[in-house]
A = this chain, B = another copy of it.
Amino acid sequence: MRKLQLDDLSKELGYSKTLISMVLNGKGNQYGISKKTQALVLDTAARLNYTPNKFAKSLRTGKSYFIGLIVSDISNPFYSTIAKRVESLLFESGYNLMVCSTDENEEREKLLVDMMVNQQGVDGLIISSVLQNAEFYEHARFSKTPMVFIDRVVPLHKANYVLIDNYGGALSLVNQLIKQNCKKIACFAITPLHLSTIEDRLNGYRKAIQNAGIQVDPALIRSIRFMSMTEDVEQELRAFMETKTIPDAIFVLNNHLAVVLLKLIKTKQYSVFENVKIACFDDIELFNIIDKPVTSLAQPMDAIGKVAVDKLMATLAGNQLTTSSEVLPTQLIER
């Protein structure tokens, strides 16, 4: 059973492929095709279950109706929640979603973007970028593909952004710890450290500490590698134990890291950290379930997805590709 094509419809109806194509693409009125003819064409196409060949269509129009989503780790609930929302919104607009993870690897991000733009021909891209500078994205060969950057700012890169206030968020999280009388507040950052989110959160942390009249102690700021989180957190905890400087609170820079930390603290080996207060960027269900009160900052994943898709669709609909930044509100959840 060969797939039905325009030619078959043409013979069936006695109209030319052109006319049928125009009607099917909603340009019937524009070309002044009579309502009656249009209805007939539409009905027949539906009845015979015609679907255009996407390859041919794409070859001709240069549009793929695919949107790429590039994040560090699609299994991170932060990103998978965004992905779910994005997919569902795109579907409504007739677009499909292609997802890839970079594992925080810069080369892989470049590879993926290049692949999506130059090989797959995606019509647009939503990216949480790990790159340290704008050079790559400023290359001419990407200038035609609309991109929306979410979550993270690529330094110096003028682009469409959908962000949250990482600095302010960190500030309120750490303030919360200070309000609970913590004096020695450690900070577990996550590499790569150059990420705008991480930088801003670190700055928020420092500012909050300073505001409280406490000296920022670099020894309290530890960085954990994305690819070896458990090992690194263990090492840092051990280091604290060895120097006998157990902090009274830890400010954790993302959900994944918090999970690893909480898991370790549960073991008797690290039980000395049991009473350490924790504040964490991102809110996850876990925090509603454990007894330990973890103050967190909920990011609006659904809204991030929505705004990103809206921006992309607006651009694809022909509106000028602007370079604005949307900063969405977060919610501090005190526990």
In the complex, what distance in Å separates the CA atom of A286 from the CA atom of B83? 22
Are B121 and A55 neighbours in the complex by a CB distance under 8 Å?
yes
CB of B54 within 8 A of CB of A120, answer yes
**Docked complex Cα distance between A58 and B115 (Å):** 15
How long is the Cα–Cα vector from A268 to B195 in the complex, in angstroms? 41
Cβ B101 vs Cβ A99 within 8 A: no
CB contact under 8 A between A80 and B88, given known A96-B120, A140-B1: no
A74 on the interface (CB 8 Å rule)?
yes
In the assembled complex, A77 has its CB within 8 A of some CB on chain B: yes
Q: Is A87 an interface residue (CB 8 A)?
A: yes
The reply to whether the CB of A164 lies closer than 8 angstroms to some CB of chain B is no
Residue A331 CB within 8 A of the other chain:
no
Check B289–A259 contact: CB distance below 8 A: yes
Tell whether A51 is near chain B: CB-to-CB under 8 Å. yes
> How long is the Cα–Cα vector from A64 to B57 in the complex, in angstroms?
13
A307 contacts partner chain B, Cβ-Cβ < 8 Å: no
How many subunits of this chain does the assembly comprise? 2
Q: List the B side residues contacting A91 at CB < 8 Å.
A: 100
Do B64 and A87 touch across chains, with their CB atoms under 8 A apart? no
A96 partner residues in chain B, CB cutoff 8 A: 98, 100, 115, 120
A75 to chain B, nearest CB (A): 4
Across-interface contacts of A242 in B (CB, < 8 A): none
Asked whether B88 lies within 8 Å of A84 as measured between CB atoms, the reply is no
Contact of A119 with B by CB under 8 A = yes
Residue among B75, B97, B118 making CB contact with A77, cutoff 8 Å: B75
Inter-subunit contact B285/A263 (CB<8 Å): yes
A266 to chain B: which residues have CB within 8 Å?
288-289
A87:B59 contact, CB within 8 angstroms: no
Contact mask for chain A residues 51-72; partner B; CB cutoff 8 A; 1 contact, 0 none: 1111110110010101000000
Q: Which residues 75-127 in A have Cβ within 8 Å of B in the complex?
A: 75, 77, 80-81, 83-84, 87-88, 91, 96-101, 115, 118-121
Q: Which residues of B contact A99 (CB under 8 A)?
A: 83, 87, 97-99
Complex Cα–Cα for A119 and B50 (A): 10
| Cβ-defined contact, B51 with A55, below 8 A | no
Residue A158 CB within 8 A of the other chain: no
Q: Are the C-beta atoms of A59 and B55 separated by less than 8 Å? A: yes
Is A19 in the interface zone, CB < 8 Å from B? no
A259-300 interface with B by 8 A CB criterion: 259, 262-263, 266, 285-286, 288-291
Residues in B whose Cβ lies below 8 Å from that of A97: 98-100
Q: Is the CB of B101 within 8 A of A54?
A: no
In the assembly, what is the distance between CA of A230 and CA of B100, in Å?
31
Interface residues of A (CB under 8 A from B): 1, 3, 51-56, 58-59, 62, 64, 66, 73-75, 77, 80-81, 83-84, 87-88, 91, 96-101, 115, 118-121, 140-141, 259, 262-263, 266, 285-286, 288-291
18 more CB-based (< 8 A) A-B contacts, given A1-B140, A259-B285, A286-B289: A3-B118, A51-B119, A52-B119, A54-B119, A55-B55, A73-B84, A75-B81, A75-B83, A75-B84, A77-B77, A80-B83, A87-B101, A97-B98, A99-B99, A262-B289, A266-B288, A266-B289, A285-B286
